[in-house]
């Protein structure tokens, strides 16, 4: 048995395989992805399963499989072949532009950099590991800022919602925020953009979690490890890699891999919820048009 995952915004999948009976390479038909249960709160409860059969075009041997579609990811399970028999697979996405949700090239680039560092001297490695570790948090902050801005500044209604509901700032900023309600719309958007760009600290994950939950209606999931990483980044950037007690931090290659993995998981968590919402809205509109 083997399997592969597909994106939640995929509308169909197909794959190439080596037939276990005749040994020839064959290709499946295009398999439509079933819609998950969008009313569910968890991946398991949302999963919808569909069985399918794939026929080898050379000998007629039948491969049995299953499509498992959930709100966070989908999986194709092939019962009768092993990992070495799965040659390739493709996912066709909906026509909407989901480039923002698939741009995770940084993740691969960081791991390439880590392999390049392997050949350097140990003292150089330590410095570069610290830089890559700190960069992960900086990347996370930029990502969180962009997502907040994309949602909040998209129209007048979401800007007003932010002004009326968000109280996660200082008393002085709250007073200023109340004054924004009476400003012209263009100036209002500019002031809110300034707050989101320059005044909100996205590395403060407790405050950021509240912002995303109350305003964007997005759950950041478990961020305990990232909160610990933020504290270490503070020591790297502001104390030259030392703790309050003047103890030097030791950042390893594994530490760098772990923090980037955690950032990557946070991004997937957020983007999957955004994509699920977009697909749900799109399917609702299609149903209404019928």
Query: Residue 174 pLDDT > 60, yes or no?
Result: no
Query: Residue 92 pLDDT > 50, yes or no?
Result: yes
Determine the Cα–Cα distance for residues 260 and 253; give it in Å rounded to an integer. 11
For the chain, give the longest Cα–Cα distance.
75
- Return the pLDDT at 182: 54
| CA-wise closest residue to 94 among 280, 265, 268 | 280
- The mean pLDDT value for 104-110 works out to 64
Contacts of 233 (CB under 8 A, 6+ apart): 133, 134, 136, 137, 138, 203
What does each C-alpha distance from 145 to 35, 113, 261 come to in angstroms?
31, 25, 19
Burial of 245 (0-12, 13-18, 19+ CB in 10 A): exposed
Query: Residue 205 pLDDT > 70, yes or no?
Result: yes
Determine the Cα–Cα distance for residues 254 and 9; give it in Å rounded to an integer. 32
- Return the pLDDT at 171: 46
| CA-wise closest residue to 202 among 235, 177, 167, 226 | 226
- Return the pLDDT at 79: 87
pTM to 2 decimal places: 0.61
Identify the residue with better confidence: 87 or 186. 87
Query: Residue 177 pLDDT > 70, yes or no?
Result: no
- Return the pLDDT at 72: 65
- Return the pLDDT at 104: 54
249-286: pLDDT as tens digits: 889 999 999 999 899 889 988 988 888 877 777 777 76
Q: pLDDT confidence of 98, banded at 50, 70, 90?
A: very low
- Long-range (24+ apart) CB contacts under 8 A made by 238-246 are 241/130
- The mean pLDDT value for 113-120 works out to 81
Determine the Cα–Cα distance for residues 47 and 68; give it in Å rounded to an integer. 6
Burial of 194 (0-12, 13-18, 19+ CB in 10 A): exposed
Q: DSSP for 179-210? A: HHTTS-HHHHHHHHHHIIIII--TT-HHHHHH
- Return the pLDDT at 54: 92
Query: Residue 101 pLDDT > 50, yes or no?
Result: no
Query: Residue 212 pLDDT > 50, yes or no?
Result: yes
Determine the Cα–Cα distance for residues 66 and 113; give it in Å rounded to an integer. 38
Q: pLDDT confidence of 152, banded at 50, 70, 90?
A: confident
Query: Residue 288 pLDDT > 80, yes or no?
Result: no
CB atoms within 10 A of CB 24: 13
- The mean pLDDT value for 98-127 works out to 71
216-251: pLDDT as tens digits: 889 998 999 999 999 999 999 888 888 888 888 889
Query: Residue 132 pLDDT > 70, yes or no?
Result: yes
Average model confidence (pLDDT) for the chain? Answer: 82
- Return the pLDDT at 156: 78
């Amino acid at each position: 048995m083997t399997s592969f995952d597909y994106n939640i915004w995929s509308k169909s999948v197909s794959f190439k395989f080596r037939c276990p009976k005749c040994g020839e390479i064959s290709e499946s038909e295009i398999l439509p992805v079933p819609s998950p249960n969008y009313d569910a709160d968890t991946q398991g409860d949302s999963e919808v399963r569909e069985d399918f059969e794939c026929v080898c075009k050379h000998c007629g041997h039948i491969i049995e499989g299953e499509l498992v579609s959930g709100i966070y990811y989908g999986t194709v399970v092939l019962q009768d072949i092993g990992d070495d028999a799965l040659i390739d697979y493709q996912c066709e996405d909906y026509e909407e532009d989901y480039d923002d949700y698939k741009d995770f090239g940084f993740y691969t680039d960081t791991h390439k950099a880590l392999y390049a560092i392997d050949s350097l001297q140990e003292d150089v490695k330590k410095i570069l590991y610290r830089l890559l570790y700190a960069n992960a948090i900086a990347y996370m902050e930029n990502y969180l800022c962009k997502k907040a801005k994309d949602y909040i500044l998209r129209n007048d209604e979401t800007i007003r919602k932010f002004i009326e509901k968000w109280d996660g700032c200082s008393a002085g900023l709250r007073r200023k925020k109340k004054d924004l309600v009476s400003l012209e719309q263009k100036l209002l958007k500019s002031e809110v953009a300034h707050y989101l760009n320059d005044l909100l600290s996205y590395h403060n994950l407790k405050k950021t979690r509240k912002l995303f939950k109350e305003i964007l209606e997005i759950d950041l999931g478990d961020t305990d490890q990232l909160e610990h990483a933020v504290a270490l980044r503070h020591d790297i950037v502001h104390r030259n890699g030392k703790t309050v007690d003047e103890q030097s931090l030791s950042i390893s290659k594994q530490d760098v891999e772990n923090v980037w993995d955690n950032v990557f998981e946070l991004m997937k968590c957020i983007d999957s919820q955004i994509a699920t919402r977009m697909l749900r809205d799109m399917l609702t509109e299609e149903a209404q048009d019928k």
